[in-house]
Structure 1
Amino acid sequence: MPGWSCLVTGAGGFLGQRIVQLLVQEKDLKEVRVLDKVFRPETREEFFNLGTSIKMTVLEGDILDTQCLRRACQGISVVIHTAALIDVTGVNPRQTILDVNLKGTQNLLEACVQASVPAFIYCSTVDVAGPNSYKKIILNGHEEQNHESTWSDPYPYSKKMAEKAVLAANGSILKNGGTLHTCALRPMYIYGDRSPFLFNEIIRALKNKGILNATGKFSIANPVYVENVAWAHILAARGLQDPEKSQNIQGQFYYISDDTPHQSYDDLNYTLSKEWGLCLDSSWSLPLPLLYWLAFLLETVSFLLRPFYNYRPPFNCHLVTLSNSKFTFSYKKAQRDLGYEPLVSWEEAKQKTSEWIGTLVEQHRETLDAKSQ
C-alpha cells in the first residue's frame, strides 16, 4: 500500500468525519480526499487542523454529478462511501432518497471503473436486514442467516439495493485492466458525541422539562459507538489492499457492533443523559400492537390524502418496528476477516457521549438565562 490515497464521501457527516480523523493516522497514506455536498466552515477548519503532513483535499459536489465523481476518483486507491440520505419518517420525497442512496452509489461505482479505483467500501446499515416484524426475535444474528428487509419504505429499500449493487460490482474490470474489489459494512444504530439523532432527542427533552421521549422501550438493540464503526472502515480499507486478506473480504458484507450492552433505545438515551438530570417519560403509552395499527391507519390516511394534501404521519409502521424489535447482531465475522476489535470500550464511549450531552444541557441553560434577563 505504499503511497496510497483515499476518497471519503459524506465526509462532513457524523461518521465521515470520524473516518477522516482515523485515516490521517495511517502509515503510507499520501492523500485524503473528502467529498460532501456542503461542508460547514467549522468542519473544513477541523480537517485542516488535524496536524498531519498528509495532503487534505476538500471537494464540494453532488453525488448525482457524474463529472464531479469522475474528477474526485482520479488517482485514488480506495473509496469509502458513507454519503447517504438517512430518512425513516418520510421527510424527503421518495425519489430524492432513491436518487441519493441508490443512483448516487451506482454513479460512484461507475466513476471508480472509469478512474480505475481498485477498492470500494460501502457503509450500509443493519436496516437492510430488517427487522421485518416486531414479533420476530433475532439475537446475536450473523451474516450466514441471510436476513433481508422486506420494507418498501425508501430508506431501507434504497440502502438494500445500493448494497446489492456494490457487492455485485466486485470483480468488475477497471478501465486500466485491473479489478474492482468491494465490500459492505452494516453498522448497528450508531451513537456517540455529535450524533444528529441523539442531538434531536436531547434538545426535545430539554424543551420538555428534561423528559426523554419513550419511543423504543420494547426493543433490544446493540448500539455501536461511532469511532468503532469508523475503525471498521479503516480495517476494511487495509484489508482490501492486502493480497492475502483481500481474498476473504471481496464481495462480502459485515455486521459492525461493539461491546455496548444490549439494551432498549430508550434505556440507551437515559443511560447517556441521566447524569444531567434527564429522565424517561413514565406516563402510560399504547401497547405495541395498538401502536403498530395506529401507524398503519395514519399511513393509510396519508396515502388517501396524497392527491389533495401531503400529510406526513408523525410515525409509520417501519419506524415502530425498527424502534421496538429485539434485533441484535454479532461482529465475529468482521473480527475473523478484518481483524476488527472495538477501539473504544463501552465505559469510554458512555463517558465521551455523556460529556457532550453535558455541553448541550449547559448551552440550553445559558440560552434560557439570556432570555429571562
Structure 2
Amino acid sequence: MSLRGEVCVVTGACGFLGRKLVRLLLDEETLAEIRLLDRYEPPVEFLQGLKDCQRKTVVSVYEGDIRDSEFLRKACRGASMVFHVASVIDTHGNLEDSELYDINVKGTKLLLEACIQENVTSFIYTSSLEVMGPNSNGDPIINGNEDTKYNTFGLFTYGNTKKEAERISLKANGEVLQNGGLLATCTLRPMYIYGDGCRFLLYHMTRGIQNNDVLYRVSAPEALVNPVYIGNVVQAHLQAGRALKDPLKRTNVGGKFYYVCDDTPHMSYSDFNYAIMSSLGFSIQKKLAMPYTLLYLYCLFWEMLRFLLHPFIKIHVPITRKLLVLMNTPFSFSYQKAQRDLGYAPRYTWEEARTHTIEWLATKLPKEREKIRSK
C-alpha cells in the first residue's frame, strides 16, 4: 500500500529521527504534501538537501510549540497522517519533570485532539524502549516481545512520560473524528537508535578523545542489548504508515505497539561503542572503573550533592543510578511482530549500518580533536 497523495505531518522534523524520516518519505513516496513541524526553523542545508528527492511533493515548514493547540490545529488542517516523532530526551535528570511532562505528554494529548478536530485519519507515535525499562532492580529481558510481562517500577521520568504518551496514543485509536470518520493509531518502540547524526555516539567519541583515545567502559560485557540503526527505524515508520492506510491491515494494527530492532549483534552499550569506533583508532577499558556497587554509591553521592545544592547552583551529574542500571541490564527484544503485522524488514545489514556510522564519525573526528586541543 502506497502513501501516494497523502498529506503527512512529521513532528520533530529537524531532529535525528525526524530528518531521516522526512527524507525517506520523499524518497519512497509521492506525497501531496509533507509538513515539517518543529519548534526550531529547519537548517538551510537540510531543506536544500530535500530538493533532489522532492519531486512534486510540497514541503511546508511549520515552526511552533507543540503545546500550542491553535498551532497544532493549523498544522493538521487538511492532513491525513501524522508521524509524532518529537519529544524531549533526558537521561541525566537535568531537566525539570514539569518540562518533560508538558512536551512529551501534554503535547501528545493536544496533538491527538487536533487530529480529531481536523479529521486526520492516521497517527503513528514514536515511543521508546524505556517505557518498558529496565526497572530499578535491573531485572533482565532477553529476546522479549510485545507479550512479555515486566514490572516497570522506577523508570526515568523520561520513560514515564513516554509511557503515558504511548497510553494516550493507543487509547485514541477508534476515536470518532469531526467528520464521522475514525482515527487509527499505533506506536513504535525502537531500541537505542544509532547511526549518522547520533549525538550519543558523538559524546562517547569525544570522551574517548579526552581519555587518550580510550573509550570509557560504563557497562559490563554481559549486559547485552540490541541497538537499532536509524535507517531501519525510519523504514519501520514508513511501513506503519502504509499499514494504517491499508484497509486490510488498519483494523489489526490500530491500537497496538511494536518493538523496532534489526540484526545488529547483541552486545553491551560500551562494547557497541567500541565495535563502531575501533576502526577509528580507539581502544576500550577492559573493565568498569570500579566495582558496580561502588559505582552505584558514586552515582548516589552526585545525586545527593545535586539535590542539596539545587536551590543555589545547578549541577550536571556525570551519571545517575538509573542510567547506570540501564546500561548494565541485559535488555533485548525481537521485531517478529512488526515483521508480521507491518511488513517491516531491516533495510540495512549490520555491516552496512556500521560502515555508514563509522564514515559519519570519521568526518567529525578531526573537528572534535581540534576542539579538545584548543581548550
TM-score range, shorter chain: over 0.9
Q: Secondary structure at 1:342's aligned position in 2?
A: coil
Q: Secondary structure at 1:80's aligned position in 2?
A: strand
Equivalent residues in 2 for 1:236-275, closer than 5 Å: 236-275=240-279
Instruction: Give the Cα–Cα distance (whole angstroms) in 1 for the partners of residues 208 and 132 of structure 2.
Output: 30
Using the TM superposition, give the Cα deviation of residue 152 of structure 1 relative to its aligned residue in structure 2, in angstroms.
Answer: 5.2
Deviations 1:218-270 (A, max 9, x none): 42110000010000000000000111011110100000000000001111111
Equivalent residues in 2 for 1:143-158, closer than 5 Å: 143-147=146-150, 149-151=152-154, 153-158=156-161
Deviations 1:24-59 (A, max 9, x none): 133442111111111223223223443422111122
Q: 1:346 to 1:284 in 2, by over 3 A?
A: closer
Using the TM superposition, give the Cα deviation of residue 289 of structure 1 relative to its aligned residue in structure 2, in angstroms.
Answer: 2.8
Aligned to 1:131: 134
Q: 1:152 to 1:271 in 2, by over 3 A?
A: closer
Deviates more, 1:285-294 or 1:339-348: 285-294
Instruction: Give the Cα–Cα distance (whole angstroms) in 1 for the partners of residues 351 and 80 of structure 2.
Output: 36
Equivalent residues in 2 for 1:21-170, closer than 5 Å: 21-38=23-40, 39-133=42-136, 135-147=138-150, 149-151=152-154, 153-170=156-173
Q: 1:306 to 1:335 in 2, by over 3 A?
A: same
Deviations 1:147-188 (A, max 9, x none): 353235321111111001001111111111111110000000
CA contact (8 A) 2:136 2:154 kept: no
Q: 1:110 to 1:237 in 2, by over 3 A?
A: same
What code does the residue aligned with 1:108 have? L
Equivalent residues in 2 for 1:205-244, closer than 5 Å: 205-218=208-221, 219-244=223-248
Using the TM superposition, give the Cα deviation of residue 366 of structure 1 relative to its aligned residue in structure 2, in angstroms.
Answer: 6.1
Q: 1:366 to 1:302 in 2, by over 3 A?
A: closer
Instruction: Give the Cα–Cα distance (whole angstroms) in 2 for the partners of residues 233 and 94 of structure 1.
Output: 28
Aligned to 1:329: 333
Instruction: Give the Cα–Cα distance (whole angstroms) in 2 for the partners of residues 187 and 53 of structure 1.
Output: 31
Aligned to 1:281: 285
Matched, 1:184 2:221: no
Matched, 1:356 2:360: yes
Deviations 1:117-171 (A, max 9, x none): 0100000000000011464221000111243532353211111110010011111
Deviates more, 1:351-360 or 1:38-47: 38-47
Q: 1:257 to 1:148 in 2, by over 3 A?
A: farther
Q: Secondary structure at 1:6's aligned position in 2?
A: strand
Q: Secondary structure at 2:27's aligned position in 1?
A: coil
Q: 1:8 to 1:274 in 2, by over 3 A?
A: same
Q: Normalising to structure 2: TM-score of the pair?
A: 0.93
Aligned to 1:11: 13
CA contact (8 A) 1:205 1:278 kept: yes
Deviates more, 1:78-87 or 1:149-158: 149-158
Unaligned runs of 5+ in 1: none
Instruction: Give the Cα–Cα distance (whole angstroms) in 1 for the partners of residues 347 and 150 of structure 2.
Output: 27
Instruction: Give the Cα–Cα distance (whole angstroms) in 1 for the partners of residues 302 and 371 of structure 2.
Output: 36
Q: Normalising to structure 1: TM-score of the pair?
A: 0.94
Q: Secondary structure at 2:365's aligned position in 1?
A: helix
Aligned residue pair count: 371
CA contact (8 A) 1:128 1:148 kept: no
Unaligned runs of 5+ in 2: none
RMSD between aligned residues:
2.0
Instruction: Give the Cα–Cα distance (whole angstroms) in 1 for the partners of residues 151 and 104 of structure 2.
Output: 17
Instruction: Give the Cα–Cα distance (whole angstroms) in 2 for the partners of residues 282 and 122 of structure 1.
Output: 39
CA contact (8 A) 1:149 1:157 kept: no
Q: 1:368 to 1:292 in 2, by over 3 A?
A: closer
Q: 1:27 to 1:303 in 2, by over 3 A?
A: closer
Deviates more, 1:225-234 or 1:198-207: 198-207
Aligned to 1:298: 302
Deviates more, 1:146-155 or 1:30-39: 146-155
Q: Secondary structure at 1:34's aligned position in 2?
A: strand
Deviates more, 1:230-239 or 1:211-220: 211-220
Q: 1:279 to 1:301 in 2, by over 3 A?
A: same
